[in-house]
Amino acid sequence: MVTVAPDEGEFVAPAEVEDVELYHAKSFITKYVFSQDAKVIAIQYTATAASIGLVALVLSWLMRLQLGFPDSFSFIDPTDYYQFITMHGMIMVIYLLTALFLGGFGNYLIPLMIGARDMVFPYVNMLSYWVYLLAVLVLVASWFVPGGPTGAGWTLYPPQAILSGTPGAEGGILLMLISLALFIVGFTMGGLNYVVTVLQARTRGMTLMRMPLTIWGIFTATVLALLAFPALFVGAVMMTFDSVLGTSFFMPAMLEFGEALEYDGGSPILFQHLFWFFGHPEVYIVALPAFGIVSDLLSVHARRHIFGYRMMVWAIVGIGGLSFVVWAHHMYVSGMNPWFGFFFATTTLIIAVPTALKVYNWTLTLWKGNINLTIPMLFAIAFIVTFVHGGITGLFLGNVVVDVPLSDTMFVVAHFHMVMGVAPLMVVFGAVYHWFPLVTGKMLHEGMGKFHFWVTFVGAYVIFLPIHYLGFLGVPRRYYEMGDTTFIPESAGTLNAFVTVIVLIVGAAQMVFLYNVIVSAIRGKASERNPWKATTLEWQTAEFPPSHGNFGAEPPVVYRWAYAYGVPGVAEDFVPQNVPPAEVAMSGGDQEEPAPQPAE
């Protein structure tokens, strides 16, 4: 039986891996540019992801201007609009969220939280970032080729993605496919690192069931990504062949504006299967790190252990496994065999059970806690709100027959923005406020942080709640303009204008956040060590902020789980993972043993 939180001092065999000699950089270039230190690579990933994310933010402004005030902006024509939505979607899902959670938080937190000195393959880890940067540059380059970037929608469905009726069919689509392939190559280098590091480089005493949930989330997400991305990779290669070499993987016999094409015998739906076999796990590649991180934020700032740790771990693993057998719920009306609907609706609704349990356990962590309403806690609560909202609308779309009227409406847009846009970004923000002191040694400005939180959370909710109702009405997604219909009232146009105004405001609030990050990093208030009184190892390093090698002369030894908050009989309300049982100060001076943590 696995013990959730072994008794203090229980013997745990030392890790098999010897303390390894690291690569010690000497020059500025090897320290800060071509760095092999996971912490520096994490910052590089984060900065690059944030930069391209800003592009996506501006694109969202532009597309909302068109939707809110059609006919007012002569510089946005349908071609532009379809390019905006495509690039916005692809950047947010792949180049921002995936890169940020795994390349950014993964690199920074995995070695520190499991007590390792660095990733196990630092050189490959460095290459991972540079290939990612190249992928981003290739993506950006598509704005500068004839025809501009692809406007095929982020799902890139053939045949239209590579035919002339779609913007960017000349060069944009090829650069998109090449960029995706590069991203996957770069991610694989990083991903192998994260997985092997978690499995092989944990410090003495850090059993799998003592790992913080942040690590469980990132670890499981990485495994999913390593299994799912190859499907996208082959899809991208096959579509490139269809476009360049004239193969017919995805292309049946058809016309292009009246002219018969050379293609014959391919299947457009095959691409959709490949895409969503990647695309659905991708949702969890973003969500699972967010699940893990938010668990830790809630626990630390509510001064309470996470509720039901083992259930939380198994839920992460279970959701990860199930995420590979639900992909075709994106394809209920794709024209695939309709009998698949029974299977995929059932698996999809089953996944709601472990997901709901995670939500219950987050709220039960707050229950009977001692809740500090810090900014990370506020963002964690905002995550629960938006995630529950986005999760339950997923139950609409997952239930095959309900999806029939709702698919490809604005309901879908509102659903996935809430569940995999807003909710994970709430965690990103909470995590930045939480770990910023660790990275920089400075605190973020609290006033600006509160402003940022309230505008972002309330604004995002006000944006996406009513958009669901446009979907019920039957307003389609991916429409440059609604034009005249018999069923859409004028009030929908007013709502669109209102939403656009809120989008501009919420976007602008992110500039306050950026300003806060930059200014606080330079001259913010100095942080004390471990300002949130957290138990996990990243706060117990030899130097603060942690330096090269993380843990000084001796790597830490772990004696307990990551959630020893409010342990009865102990003087402080938290016990770091690496404090030996004998050194734990008891309350009231009596030396009775601390209450044993439940073992099974």
Partner 1 sequence: MHVAIVLILVAVGSVVFHFVSPWWWTPIASNWGYIDDTIIITFWITGVVFVGVMLFMAYCVIRYRFKKDRRAEYEPENTKLEVWLTVLTSIGVVVMLTPGLFVWNQFVTVPDDAVEVEVMGQQWQWSFRYPGEDGVLGTTSIANFDGDNTFGLNPDDANGQDDILIEGDDLHLLLGQPVKILLRSIDVLHDFYVPQFRAKMDMVPGSVTYFWLTPTRTGTFDILCFELCGVGHYDMRGTVVVDEEADYLAWLQEQSTFAELMAEAGAGEAGDPVLRLTESEVGATENAVTQ
Q: Counting contacts by CB under 8 A, is residue 93 touching partner 1?
A: no
Question: Quick one: CA dihedral 529, 531, 532, 533, positive or negative?
Answer: positive
Residue whose CB is less far from partner 1, 65 or 116: 65
Q: Counting contacts by CB under 8 A, is residue 146 touching partner 1?
A: no
Binding to partner 1 in span 250-269, by CB under 8 A:
252-258, 260, 265-269
Query: Residue 541: which of 31, 5, 39, 15 has the closest Cα?
Result: 39
CA gap 304, 371 in Å, rounded: 8
Q: Reduced to 3 states, what is the DSSP secondary structure of residue 251?
A: coil
DSSP string, 158-199: TTGGGSTTSTTTTTHHHHHHHHHHHHHHHHHHHHHHHHHHHH
Two tokens at 366? Answer: 């707050």
Q: Counting contacts by CB under 8 A, is residue 163 touching partner 1?
A: yes
Question: Applying CB under 8 A, which part among 31-39, 97-105, 146-154, 423-431 lies near partner 1?
Answer: 146-154
CA gap 38, 439 in Å, rounded: 12
Residue whose CB is less far from partner 1, 70 or 122: 70
Residue whose CB is less far from partner 1, 156 or 287: 156
* Minimum CB–partner distance for residue 13 and partner 1 (Å): 24
Residue whose CB is less far from partner 1, 122 or 354: 354
Q: List CB contacts of 522: < 8 A, sequence separation 6 or more.
A: none
Residue whose CB is less far from partner 1, 511 or 571: 571
Q: How does DSSP classify residue 303?
A: T
CA gap 81, 63 in Å, rounded: 6
Which one among 307, 532, 551, 559 touches partner 1, defined by CB under 8 A? Answer: 307
Question: x/- binding map, residues 396-425, to partner 1, per CB under 8 A?
Answer: x--xxxx-xx-xxx----------------
Across 137-268, the runs of DSSP E, i.e. the strands, are 255-256, 259-260
Q: Counting contacts by CB under 8 A, is residue 392 touching partner 1?
A: yes
Which one among 89, 111, 122, 159 touches partner 1, defined by CB under 8 A? Answer: 159
Binding to partner 1 in span 495-524, by CB under 8 A:
495
Which one among 149, 167, 376, 421 touches partner 1, defined by CB under 8 A? Answer: 167
N-to-C CA span, the chain: 6
Q: List CB contacts of 271: < 8 A, sequence separation 6 or more.
A: 156, 157, 158, 235, 238, 239, 249, 250
Q: List CB contacts of 255: < 8 A, sequence separation 6 or more.
A: 261
Which one among 38, 93, 294, 302 touches partner 1, defined by CB under 8 A? Answer: 302
Binding to partner 1 in span 468-487, by CB under 8 A:
469-470, 472-474, 476, 478-483, 485-487
Query: Residue 202: which of 329, 321, 143, 114 has the closest Cα?
Result: 114
Q: Counting contacts by CB under 8 A, is residue 304 touching partner 1?
A: yes
* Minimum CB–partner distance for residue 277 and partner 1 (Å): 18
CA gap 158, 236 in Å, rounded: 11
Task: Report the 10 Å Cβ neighbour count for 11.
Answer: 7
Binding to partner 1 in span 352-391, by CB under 8 A:
352-353, 356-357, 359-361, 363-364, 366-373, 378, 381, 384-385, 388-389
DSSP string, 57-80: HHHHHHHHHHHHSTTS-TT--HHH
Query: Residue 224: which of 353, 321, 121 has the closest Cα?
Result: 321
The count of chain residues that interact with partner 1, using the rule CB under 8 A, is 120
Q: Which residue in the block uniquely carries the two structure tokens 């913080």?
A: 212
Two tokens at 175? Answer: 């650069």
What type of residue sits at position 444? L
CA gap 3, 32 in Å, rounded: 41
* Minimum CB–partner distance for residue 149 and partner 1 (Å): 13
Binding to partner 1 in span 523-542, by CB under 8 A:
none
Task: Report the 10 Å Cβ neighbour count for 328.
Answer: 24
* Minimum CB–partner distance for residue 549 and partner 1 (Å): 33
In sequence order, the β-bridge partners of residue 574 are 565
Question: x/- binding map, residues 340-359, to partner 1, per CB under 8 A?
Answer: -xx--xx--xx-xx--xx-x
Question: Applying CB under 8 A, which part among 92-100, 114-122, 285-293, 465-473 lies near partner 1?
Answer: 465-473
* Minimum CB–partner distance for residue 326 and partner 1 (Å): 13
Which one among 335, 525, 529, 571 touches partner 1, defined by CB under 8 A? Answer: 335
Which one among 9, 33, 123, 310 touches partner 1, defined by CB under 8 A? Answer: 310
* Minimum CB–partner distance for residue 176 and partner 1 (Å): 15
* Minimum CB–partner distance for residue 488 and partner 1 (Å): 8
Which one among 146, 447, 588, 598 touches partner 1, defined by CB under 8 A? Answer: 598
